[in-house]
Amino acid sequence: MSILQAVRGTRDLLPPETGLWNHIESTARRVFEAYSFGEIRTPIFEDTQLFSRGVGEETDIVSKEMYTFTPEARVQGESAQSLTLRPENTAGVVRAYIEHQLGETGQLQKLYYIGPQFRRERPQKGRYRQFFQIGAEVIGPPSAGSESPLRDAEVLEMLATLLGELGITGWKLLLNSVGSATDRPRYVQTLRAALEPVVGTMCEDCQRRAQTNPLRVLDCKHPEDQPIIAQLPRIWDSLDEGSKEHFAAVCTALDACGVPYEHDHRLVRGLDYYTRTTFEFVSGDGGLGTQNALLGGGRYDGLSEAIGGPKAPGIGFAMGEDRLVLILEAQAKHGSRLAAAYVAPLGERMNAAALVLAKELRATGLRIELGDGSFRLKKSFEAANKVAGNIVIMGEDESASGILTVKHFATGEQFKVPRNRLGEKLAATSN
């Protein structure tokens, strides 16, 4: 019988790697809460129409990558409904905003999420078919200031702060505007006309996108197509004055708070709901290969109306947690997550006493491993050296005297510590 394995494009996350994942998520939660964001958790699958209407029928996500199914209607009175595992979460958050009438509060809704998404695309480094995203959305009625360029700048400044808190260096912020709901269609027509005489010489993807979603041609990475793309019209020339003023205000606010950026005229992002500000943070410090985007997002002022809701301008982003893990591993910004100490009982009769000591130390907030008295002392030292920074010996003498013997592996130093000061000493040697 063959051994069952994880499905292609998925994988198991195991310790100690999951410690790094938890670190990323706890850091994100702490930063988001400092900016007054609250967590939202939406269903893992949605009505397929949410993505076809919200993300766009002709996008690669909807046309090629979604996991869609129609379960048999077995419950009386329930009709068959096409369902899709969520390929992204912005549409789901906006759906929840509409369904729960959050706009009626008259306040901005600042929401973040952490969870899995699903796309059927070719697995590669940092890209899986079940992948994990951390994202946030700022959405609300225009009367709450949801259209303000200050909202855009605040989100971008928050992201710069988050990357700094995670210890990610060498990033670059790419910034552009795709204009208003009238600017973008006008540019698409201009782009179609410019592509018509040259697209036949471009790659197969570009030839298809020129018909279905011309903006995605600008994302092409084929080297032979780059000279052609460099000569295509820029979207900036199709923007009205309002869109240009909005973009200038975002840049002014970023300059004021010291967030560096580059204006990238080719950054349009492929989802239909984007308007005005679009952005990407890219890594320049290894770990991701040629696919170097850390995160991306933009403004989506018409998405709510597209899926049947009220006018509710918004801006948001999503970052691939899988990619953050890769870049942190490449930059060695994470610790080994060793336990502070390994408590080694000398003989099985000391097992209970060792368990009590481990309980006391854990109550102080320390990470503690517990050995077993059946181990010989040499084996306890070998086991401890793999998982902890120190070994604490618990024998009959130590139990009676209250003086514990400790060895610190990094320096080889061995010392004795009163039991009531052991937690303090271990905490100091773990820092």
pLDDT by residue (tens digit) across 203-216? 988 888 888 788 88
Give all strands (DSSP E) within 81-189, no chain letters: 83-85, 109-118, 130-139, 171-177
Answer for the pair 175, 262: CB distance below 8 angstroms, yes or no: yes
Across the range 304-327, mean pLDDT stands at 92
Q: How confident is the model at residue 285 (pLDDT cuts 50, 70, 90)?
A: low
Across the range 133-157, mean pLDDT stands at 95
In whole angstroms, how far apart are CA 213 and each of 118, 178, 204? 22, 14, 13
Return d(Cα 139, Cα 295) in angstroms, integer: 19
What's the confidence (pLDDT) of residue 360?
93
Question: Does the pLDDT at position 289 exceed 60?
Answer: no
In whole angstroms, how far apart are CA 419 and each of 214, 353, 360, 392? 70, 12, 10, 11
> What is the residue-averaged pLDDT of the chain?
89
Structure tokens at 197: 């005489």
pLDDT tens string 82-98: 999 999 999 999 999 99
Q: Beta strands 341-345 and 390-394: pairing type?
A: parallel
What's the confidence (pLDDT) of residue 359?
95
What's the confidence (pLDDT) of residue 115?
95
In whole angstroms, how far apart are CA 88 and each of 54, 129, 275, 347? 11, 12, 17, 55
Across the range 146-163, mean pLDDT stands at 95
Return d(Cα 117, Cα 280) in angstroms, integer: 19
Q: How confident is the model at residue 274 (pLDDT cuts 50, 70, 90)?
A: confident
What's the confidence (pLDDT) of residue 76?
63
Across the range 24-48, mean pLDDT stands at 95
Q: Beta strands 45-47 and 83-85: pairing type?
A: antiparallel
| Secondary structure (DSSP) of 318-336 | EEEHHHHHHHHHHHT-S--
Provide the whole-model pTM: 0.82
Q: How confident is the model at residue 250 (pLDDT cuts 50, 70, 90)?
A: very high
Question: Does the pLDDT at position 290 exceed 60?
Answer: no
What's the confidence (pLDDT) of residue 400?
92
Task: Match 């471009």 to its residue by tokens.
Answer: 202
What's the confidence (pLDDT) of residue 169?
84
What's the confidence (pLDDT) of residue 267?
87
What's the confidence (pLDDT) of residue 356?
94
Question: Does the pLDDT at position 125 exceed 90?
Answer: no
Alpha helices in 52-115 (DSSP H): 60, 90-99
Across the range 349-361, mean pLDDT stands at 94
What's the confidence (pLDDT) of residue 369?
94
Across the range 215-241, mean pLDDT stands at 87
Length of the chain: 431
